[in-house]
Amino acid sequence: MSGRRGRRSSAGHHGAAAAALRDGKAATVDPGARKRLKLLEIHRALNADPVDVEALRRAAVSEGGLLTNEIRRKVWPKLLNVNVYNLPPKPGKAVRTNHKDYNQVLMDVKRSLSRFPQGMRVDQRVALQQQLIDVILYVLKGNPQLHYYQGYHDIAVTFLLVMGPRMAAALLQILSTHHLRDFMDNTMENTKHILNYLMAILEQVKPELHEFIQRAEVGTIFALSWLITWYGHVLSEFCHTVRLYDFFLASHPLMAIYFAAVVVLHREEAVLRCDCDMPSVHQLLSQIPQDLPYQALIQRAEELFSRYPPSQLAKLPALQHHKRQAHTLIISSSSHLFSNPSLRALAPPYLSDLLTPRSTTRCSVGFLRPPACPSSPPLHHRWPCLQPLRPEALELAPSIHPPCLLPRHLQIPPKDLPF
């Protein structure tokens, strides 16, 4: 009898918490009760037939994200429509044989010590680094159209630490051909185009801040490592990194650039107080704070995405203006960066590597050197509408571009992918 009363009491408690959340009174709900309610909702979504992916997406975006790595191991595959019963084999050392990117991947992984948990035994870390190399090369070998970039390993290590090698390889396969695909071309044209959205968003939200950054001729190079590593390279706390990964995996592929915009907006006062010159503004913006109000920024990024969707921003004359200016500004920014010793010390390894040209691997900011001529017309000649992702959004496409030239954010993703 007492057991039944306990279960009824617990059910009543969850019901009251759920009602408070629905009524917008989440602040009055005990944090422990809120966490228990969220765990219950995630459990229900995972056990629904079919799995309630929309509920999982809401959980990933809402306060606290997916809460634990144990839950992430269950939910992240669902967000990317990965069949956990049909995983690739565990990547082995065979993928290293004669792979053109092996030496570069090896160097990048060796210098990624900060991405592994502090206090980890050396033999454990070395074993994980070997697994990381094999996971990256497995994905690249299976997708020869992809080009490795420095910073890709920062994303791969996050999935390896949370998911293990087999599941990490499966998730990275999907991400590399969808969310990250524009970063993995043989030139950086598409990445530059995505970075241009940052300034377009700032111009719509805070024209004064936008004008200040324009006058400083900073460009968008400060946000490059944010975007192409999903902030994994610049955040020191792993819990913050995986919280953002929850958000990005549940969102549109361009959400990472909206988050970059809200980070800059969050620092508006500090930016406007500093000297209006490239070294000063670049140094300030490139040092991303570690104590960001992540949930508030996530909510604001979602609001800006709804208010200024990519389809709307793409039509703005300002975006085309930034597109024309991008190459000049990036070259100007990089020349200041490398000529200033204090700024150069802040640069991540892959920016410093620009001073040592390589012929085999395209570096993450390789567009600072003349890009190789593509074999087909460039994908950055984009259709103005970037947001819709369903068949009805493509009805007018043939009259504008041949289907093969549609930007990847317009191409129809595999069934049930959540963007």
What are 94-111's pLDDT values in tens digits? 888 888 999 999 999 998
Query: What are the tokens at 196?
Result: 């241009």
Contacts of 412 (CB under 8 A, 6+ apart): 389, 390, 391, 394
**Which among 305, 307, 312, 322 is positioned nearest to 385, based on CA atoms?**
312
What is the Cα–Cα distance from 55 to 59, expressed in whole angstroms? 6
At 237 the pLDDT is 94
Rounded Cα–Cα distance for residues 215 and 223 (Å): 17
Band of the pLDDT at 86, cuts 50, 70, 90?
confident
User: What end-to-end distance do the CA atoms of the chain give, in Å?
Assistant: 48
Give the contacts of 223 (CB within 8 A, at least 6 positions apart).
195, 198, 257, 260, 264, 285
Least-confidence region, from 10-19, 261-270, 288-297: 10-19
Number of helices (H), then strands (E), in the chain: 20, 0
Position 358 confidence tier, pLDDT thresholds 50, 70, 90:
very low
- What does the DSSP assignment read for 236-273? S-HHHHHHHHHHHHTS-TTHHHHHHHHHHHHTHHHHHH
Percentage of the chain exceeding pLDDT 90: 59
Q: The domain 188-330 belongs to what CATH superfamily? A: Ypt/Rab-GAP domain of gyp1p, domain 3 (1.10.472.80)
Q: What is the DSSP string of 152-191?
A: HHHHHHHHHHHH-HHHHHHHHHHHHTTTTGGGGSSSSHHH
Write down the mean pLDDT value for the chain: 78
Q: Which residue bears the tokens 């410093």?
A: 352
H/E element, 44: helix 31-47
Answer with the residue of higher pLDDT: 363 or 279. Answer: 279
What would the pLDDT profile of 242-258 be if each residue is shown by its tens digit?
999 999 999 999 999 99
Q: Pick 374 or 306 by higher pLDDT.
A: 306
| Range picked from 109-123, 245-259, 276-290, 355-369 for highest mean pLDDT | 245-259
We find that the CATH architecture of domain 33-180 is: Orthogonal Bundle (1.10)
pLDDT band of residue 413 (cuts 50, 70, 90) is: very low
Per-residue pLDDT at 119: 86
Angle between helices 278-286 and 317-339 (to 10 degrees): 90
Cα Rg, the chain, nearest whole Å: 22
Distance CA 309, CA 201 (A): 10
Burial of 142 (C-beta count, 10 Å sphere; 0-12/13-18/19+): middle
Residue environment code for 320-341, b if the CB has 16+ CB neighbours within 10 A, otherwise e? eebbebbbebbebbbebbbebe
Whole-number Å distance between alpha carbons of 151 and 157 = 10
Question: Residue 278 corresponds to which amino acid?
Answer: M
Higher pLDDT pick, 77 / 335: 77
- What DSSP character marks residue 353? G
Instruction: Give the pLDDT score at 343.
Output: 47
Condensed to tens digits (0 to 9), the pLDDT of residues 142-156 reads 999 999 999 999 999
Q: In 3-state terms, what secondary structure has residue 384?
A: coil
- Length of the chain counted residue by residue: 419
pLDDT of residue 31: 77
Tell me how far apart the alpha carbons of residues 225 and 231 are, in angstroms, rounded to a whole number: 7
Q: What is the pLDDT of residue 319?
A: 65
Over range 29-36, report the average pLDDT. 83
| Chain mean position to CA 104 | 22
Give the pair of three-digit tokens for residue 179. 């969310």
Collapsing DSSP to helix, strand or coil, 325 comes out as helix
The structural domains of the chain, with segments of one domain joined by +, span 33-180, 188-330
* Rounded Cα distance, 277 and 282, in Å: 8
- Can you tell me the distance from the alpha carbon of 367 to that of 342, in angstroms, rounded to the nearest whole number? 23
Give the Cα separation of 119 and 125 in Å (integer): 10
Ranking 23-27, 312-316, 353-357 by mean pLDDT, the lowest is: 353-357
Q: Which of the two residues, 365 and 249, has the higher pLDDT score?
A: 249
- Higher-confidence residue: 45 or 22? 45
Residue located via tokens 């074999």 = 375
Tokens of 162: 């949370």
Of 204, 195, 187, 223, nearest to 325 by C-alpha is 195
Of 311 and 339, more confident? 311
